[in-house]
Structure 1
Amino acid sequence: MLVAALSTGPSPSYAVASSAAATPARCSAGLVALTFDDGPSSNVTPRLLGILEERRVRATFFMVGERVASAPATARKVAQGGHVVANHSWHHTLMTTQTDSQIRDTLLATDRALRRAGVVPGKLMRPPYGGINARVTAAITRTGFVPVLWDVDPEDWEDRTATAIANAVISGLRPHRSNIVLQHDGVTNSPSSVSAVPSIIQRARRLGYCFAVLGADGRPTPPVPRLTIASTTVREGDVARVRLRLDQPTSRPVSVRLDTRAAGAGAADFTGRSLRVRFPIGTTTRTVLVRTHQDTLDERNEAFSVRLSAPVGLRVGTSSRRVVIVDDDAPPGVRVRNLVVTEPATGTTPADVVVELGRPSGRRVRATLRTRPGTARAGDFTPRVASAVVPAGTVRAFFRVEVLADLLDEPEETFTVEITSAVNARVVATPATVTIRPPPTP
């Protein structure tokens, strides 16, 4: 007889307090393995599968070979539902009355029937009626199978109501120990046993149990939850809340390594984290805080990545997620500065008008500028419409206008330069005046 025994202590710090009594955390009381014998039944088993799927519970089905041969599609549905399919002999004959070769033949015949039905069975088996002794155990083991009995028997094969069956199961559960429950989906009273399953699941969960299938050793196997990272955005300067979520609780502590890495954002934009995130028994969510840093740069939204590795007791469903840092800085103001330039005696001289930001920007700023005549006319300078680009992180660019020499003796003249539009900046000042002084007297 192989009976599983798990020892997992409760975790009171994760229990939810109530005014009457504390509600245990899921899985804090241990595991329950629902097992169903004597099927498959094309009338009963599909209804049971629907109940289990709706409640996200996996079970172990010990199938009789001749019934598999009669209902192969139902056997396939069990396997397709993620349940464990195991061997319950060919004709449900008491094995203590069989020879060693008969035991071998009945197990192998059932294994072949399952495979012909499109099911890949494991090596678990349950002797009919629980009839087993040392000789039978040895014959089963030599054939390559692992015998499994049960811990809780509600005697659902008798003429018992669903309520009586559920009560018997719940009263038989033992916290922090093996709880392999025996039920049937292929006997006369199976409809009542199946009707008891919703109550069994609900009540056991309220007591802090969670449900498991049997592993290759015949013991209830702790659920292996799938871990994902929720999408996250954070306003610059705030704390990013990176939420990790398991798709189900489990009966043992699990953990994963978490590291942050730059993915557009630099080291000055956030404080990196590198830690192992631990989920106590029954816990399905954890939040890791990552601080972002405020700056004064108007810039594109940046990001860092959160990466998960080295899982213990869980499967990583989402190994990496980008966290977007939303920039909250207004674009800088852009202006042009007045300039005084001396008219050349001959030829031309450049008038480099300063295009200036009020503060650096994290973006490239493009300003479109044009000249307008004043007292200086087209013969005094070359009219121009062009763009000036201020690179990211800097504050200044130049707009060049060529000032022309003439032969006239005249006073100072002026023209203006104005910004007609700007990208990634705000125009904040009036046009700049360029003053052309007469050339020096020879």
Structure 2
Amino acid sequence: MNHRRNFIKTSALIAGGAMISPFALPKAFATGDDAIKIALIGCGGRGTGAVFQAFETGYNIKLVAMADAFRDRLEGSYKPIFDKYGKEKVEVSEEKKFVGFDAYKDAIKEADVVILAAPPGFRPDHFQEAIRQNKQVFMEKPVATDAVGIRKVLDAAKEASEKKLNVVVGFQRRYQDSYVETIKRIHDGAIGDIVSGQVYWNDAGVWVKQREAGMTEMEYQMRNWYYFNWLCGDHIVEQHVHNLDVVNWIKGAYPIKAEGTGGRFIRNGKEHGEIFDHHSVTYTYEDGTVILGECRHFPGAHNRVDETFQGTNGRAYLNAGNKGQLWDRNGNVLYNHDGKGNKNPYQKEHDMLFKAIVDGEFKYQDAEHAAKSTMTAILGRNATYSGKVVQWDEALQSEISLMPARLDWNSNPQVLPDDAGYYPIALPGKTKVI
């Protein structure tokens, strides 16, 4: 009897009308005589790092398949992984290196656990397929770039829960000790009810990939994916979503509306595609809480990535540098997190996922809150692009899809450059977002 297969299989078993958990054989992996097989979908830096972190959990894990739209990206990921871990952990034959838009389907078939780290626009379809094939999942944030994709993820999240499939999403602050301990105290009432907050992701911006001779428009946008909304969602969705997820975590709720402003002031070249370089959004929650979310890409300007909150009895400050602080209304320190010895949260989220799998436990259902926090960022983008007050319920039901009608190298995305090479930019007051 193959105990590992019986343990990891996640198609629900029906017996006498009752659903039996697929985790019927706890500790099946603990003996080390049978490996957990993982597949990497999306072979960029984050995906490569996630494989490293999976291996560093210390469990018996083997990488057996990889998939990417580009062969060179796949090979650029395979080499450092193999160079560090060798054939004992890396068993990806040439036949298991899958390339192309549909490559993910073949790679997922080979694995027990899949790592989804392609550009965010692909996440809904990749996640749906992984759950359809009954796989445990680690996927990066954000989990979609439009409301159509969000609804796919929410549907797949429900299916994953019904099948008792663990899903961890790369909102690593939810696994970071400073955030966990500080927010636990907030939830316990240390500073009263949260009534307002300000959250920031202000930095210089990220990489740019230049257009090369011979590239089709599809290839160029795929290579320079950060600057096209169907792939990235704009940096409010790709980066600022971390801060917005912290807000939703603390509130235990999601905003009912958003309004704001944004545009392109500094990073406004052809290579910057269609995204804005700054957004400032006011989110309102059902209980009247108002949150300011601000993000910008201004090289040379002051950087700030953190979260502050005001409660009826005090205030809070958090950032990813293991800072977690609480004060009462008189400025007295209530809590100051000691980050000494705290584990890297990027590693910890993998440690916890694979421990649950090895122990035969169904513990992690991150996909729903990840989808709703991603939708919070999309709501903000809709507000800045349109210049309107955008309601959550209306935005979530939008039928506007940003994805191309067909995915192949000779097809065109929806947004194309003009004769001078510049892409159309959202115009507040004119652009339709719902």
> Which structure shows the bigger proportion of residues in helix conformation?
2
Larger Rg: 1
Same fold (TM over 0.5): no
TM bucket by the smaller chain? under 0.3
> Which structure shows the bigger proportion of residues in strand conformation?
1
Q: Which structure has the higher relative contact order (CA within 8 Å, separation 6+)? A: 2
